[in-house]
Structure 1
């Protein structure tokens, strides 16, 4: 997929999610919160498949596989943490009886943000 197609697909997924979110927040619908987050989960699944396809297409031998897994490890961890925060938010909103604290819900974001800042900083330092 070209960059334009990926950008348009991302905007479409975000648009559908925001429409579903607005409908749910205005109480026009009484959908489950897990249903509202389906577009984001589809996007995350496509991202994981994309990373796996990149690994498989570049894999030539077992030594290269180890190198590729280390290279794409941050992408896979980022998507998995993003899925974890979405599930935690859905659990918090859908089942208030669970009494999840906001600090517990935000743990994946607190892990993801410093890791992302470090990743971006390292790439900025390397590019100079």
Structure 2
């Protein structure tokens, strides 16, 4: 898929998600929050399939001697899974207004904080290794 197609697909899915989000927040619809997040889950599933395809071709071809690119792909996969976890927990929190299942907000945000912390460390070490090279 060309870069332009990926960018257009990303913007289109984000646009649909934002439209559904605005409709839900304005209380014009009474949909479940799980329905509102469907475009994001479609996008994340496309990303996961793309990463799995790239990882299998990487292992199959064996063209790269270093494991740096494979580690980067695994890190992207872990980030997407953590993002999906945060989205599901956020939907559960927003759906349960009657306090039948109480999920504190800091539990919902733990996957996002993990992504931010590890990304900060990863960027720091990437900058250090590029500077010394």
TM-score by length of 1: 0.88
For residue 23 of structure 1, what is the aligned residue in structure 2? 23
Alignment root-mean-square deviation, CA: 1.9
Task: Please list, as runs of the form range in 1=range in 2, the aligned pairs for 1:28-39 lying within 5 A after superposition.
Answer: 28-39=28-39
Q: Within 1, Cα distance between the matches of 2:61 and 2:75?
A: 21
After TM superposition, give the deviation of residue 72 of structure 1 in Å.
2.1
Structure 1 unaligned runs (5+)? none
Instruction: Report matched runs for 1:33-72 at 5 Å.
Output: 33-60=33-60, 67=67, 70-72=71-73
Q: Which runs of 4+ in 1 moved over 4 A?
A: none
Partner of 1:101: 104
Stretch moving more, 109-118 or 31-40: 109-118
Q: Which residue of 2 is the match for residue 92 of structure 1?
A: 93
CA distance in 2, matches of 1:17, 1:60: 36
Deviates more, 1:78-87 or 1:105-114: 105-114
**Alpha-carbon distance, 1:71 to partner:** 4.2
Match of 1:116 in 2: 119
Q: Which region of structure 1 is more displaced relative to structure 2, 95-104 or 74-83?
A: 95-104
How much does 1:99 deviate?
1.6
Query: How many pairs align?
Result: 125
How does the TM-score come out when normalised to structure 2?
Answer: 0.85
Q: What displacement does 1:61 show?
A: 7.2
Local SS of the residue matching 2:27: coil
Write the distance in 2 (CA, Å) between the matches of 1:77 and 1:42. Answer: 17
In the alignment, is residue 75 of structure 1 matched against residue 76 of structure 2?
A: yes
Aligned partners of 2:41, 2:116: CA distance in 1, in Å? 20
Residue equivalent to 1:126 = 129
